[in-house]
Amino acid sequence: MRVVAFNDKTRDLSDASGVSGSDAAGLGRIVADMNALIPGGPTNLAAGLKAIAAHKPTDIYVVTDGLPTAGDSGYRSLNPFSGCSALWGGSTSISGECRARLFQHTINNSGLTKIRTNVILLPLEGDPEAAAFFWRWTALTSGLMISPRGDMALKRKSREFEIFSLSFLDIISCGFGAVVLLVLISPFAESVLPNFTSETKRMLEEVLDAEARVTALESALEQELELQEEVEERLTREQTKAAEAQNALRAANAKAESLSENLAGLQLVERSLRNSSRASLTPNTSQTRDEEVGGIPVDSDYVVFIIDTSGSMQAIWNRVTKEVENVIRIHPRIKGFQILNDNGTHLISGYSGRWIPDTKARRDSVIRLFRNWKSASNSSPIEGLGVALKRYVNPSQKVSIYIFGDDYTGSTYDPVIKTLRTANTNRVTGKPLARVHAIGFLSPTSNGRFETLMREVTRQNDGTFVALPIK
């Protein structure tokens, strides 16, 4: 594994021979060197890729905050950059169009277009097209792009350094084997043998006898396999019963906990009314959970899904269903959830205005309905956001909203931004009432507008945008 830092120049933070994922001391030195770096200067992605290419990587992880602003000195002679004087010192600023051209030229000439590439795109204002370009790069190489929440880079941990928490460095140090296909081609030719009738008859009898023994053995084996399947089925049934009993116990404990929390909430409201204090309506958050999975905060008790149900999303509906299940699964203590489409239509109208309880039986039932859900869609989440913020978001509950989509058809981005800024802001603290995350899918209709909007939406609402690769 190698780690290379770059701006207008490159610096190899690894040892001369690289660092193994099991080398705790080597990984610690890399982290220390990274903490000592002070960002500055232009972003020369071409220089970084050139330094990496020399080591013939199998996987690449790029951490950056936007499109490149500098390139090789030879770019001046290329026609696409005739109007980009900033590349050779003729200007102190560079246009978005020139940055896009520079990015495409850098990737096409890197010699790394077949290497799986993953990108962590840090938040940055003023670079709206970055998410679209980086997503297409990672998707074409079967990689992943993630844009983490805004305060992730500034957050400091109080606990001591532990080498086993360096999951990012562990992952990229994994090796990949090669698969070798051996093809054996044997020539065929006619064989002329003497006609030994008696010998042939004896050999034929031996073959028939061997086949009879094989048949008997196969029959015995089949009986043993059937017996084994019956035992496994009984074991599975017992395991299912045990799991159902555990789920029932957890449900009972969750209900008791919910009743206890409701009682505490009523007592808090009673005290608030008695004291006529508006500030006391804010719930106690002295023990706020702070958990993350893959850069996504999962400390919410309730989850709302707003899902584009247009034709392009229906074409990949099985994958959309799987990602919904994954999101529910990564939240360790979810109490309830709700599913709307981007027009604000509920999957289950009977639960409109109420949370769907997160039990195994209810979750399985909802997923079965979701797999066959077809509803009108305009590929714009503004109506769904309006319903979610009005009915399911309030200061007393920890709520996360997940927007699933592949395209945005609105004329401008302003209505979505304004809706969230107005309805998702705590009037006392000024912070978002609910986290807003987004999951992006690539489809033939994707035009870069969904990822551009969602990167800004998640940045302003303490969320994370995850751009999924093509599968």
Statement to judge: residues 300 and 268 lie in one domain? no
186 assigned to some structural domain: no
Statement to judge: residues 145 and 218 lie in one domain? no
Does residue 83 or residue 123 have the better pLDDT? 123
pLDDT at 149: 74
Three-state DSSP class for 121?
strand
Statement to judge: residues 334 and 257 lie in one domain? no
pLDDT at 355: 94
CB 330 within 8 A of CB 293: yes
Does residue 41 or residue 342 have the better pLDDT? 342
- Take residue 415 and report the two structure tokens written for it: 């209505």
Query: Considering 137, 172, 207, which residue would you say is the last residue of a domain?
Result: 172
Does residue 61 or residue 158 have the better pLDDT? 61
CB 65 within 8 A of CB 121: yes
Statement to judge: residues 162 and 80 lie in one domain? yes
Lowest mean pLDDT segment, chosen from 31-40, 254-263, 335-344, 369-378: 254-263
Q: Using 50, 70 and 90 to split pLDDT, how confident is the model at 77?
A: low
Statement to judge: residues 306 and 385 lie in one domain? yes
Residue 226 CA to chain centroid, in angstroms? 41
Statement to judge: residues 221 and 317 lie in one domain? no
Averaged over 331-350, what is the pLDDT? 89
Statement to judge: residues 245 and 323 lie in one domain? no
Query: Considering 233, 250, 278, which residue would you say is the last residue of a domain?
Result: 278
177 assigned to some structural domain: no
For position 303, which CATH number holds?
A: 3.40.50.410
Residue with tokens 């206890």: 260
Alpha-carbon gap, residue 246 to 336, rounded angstroms: 19
Residue 288 has pLDDT above 70, yes or no: no
- Take residue 300 and report the two structure tokens written for it: 């919410």
180 assigned to some structural domain: no
Residue 278 has pLDDT above 50, yes or no: no
Please list the helix, strand and coil fractions of the chain in percent, rounded to the nearest 5, in that order: 45, 15, 40
Statement to judge: residues 218 and 354 lie in one domain? no
371 assigned to some structural domain: yes
Statement to judge: residues 124 and 239 lie in one domain? no
Most confident of 134-138, 175-179, 191-195, 330-334: 134-138
181 assigned to some structural domain: no
Angle between helices 449-460 and 414-423 (to 10 degrees): 20
Task: Give this prediction's pTM.
Answer: 0.61
Tell me how crowded residue 332 is: count the other CB atoms within 10 A of its CB.
10
Residues 155-201: pLDDT tens digits?
544 444 444 444 544 444 443 333 333 333 334 444 444 555 777 77
Count of structural domains, the chain: 3
221 assigned to some structural domain: yes
Strands 465-467 and 302-307 turn out to be: unpaired
Percent of the chain with pLDDT over 90: 31
Statement to judge: residues 236 and 301 lie in one domain? no
Terminal C-alpha separation, the chain: 26
Statement to judge: residues 271 and 395 lie in one domain? no
Lowest mean pLDDT segment, chosen from 53-67, 89-103, 383-397, 401-415: 89-103
Q: Which residues form the domain of 455? A: 292-467
pLDDT at 157: 47
pLDDT at 19: 80
pLDDT at 255: 78
pLDDT at 183: 32
Q: Using 50, 70 and 90 to split pLDDT, how confident is the model at 324?
A: confident
324 assigned to some structural domain: yes
Statement to judge: residues 124 and 82 lie in one domain? yes
Query: Considering 278, 309, 328, which residue would you say is the last residue of a domain?
Result: 278
Residues 236-251: pLDDT tens digits?
999 999 999 989 998 8
Does residue 398 or residue 28 have the better pLDDT? 398
346 assigned to some structural domain: yes
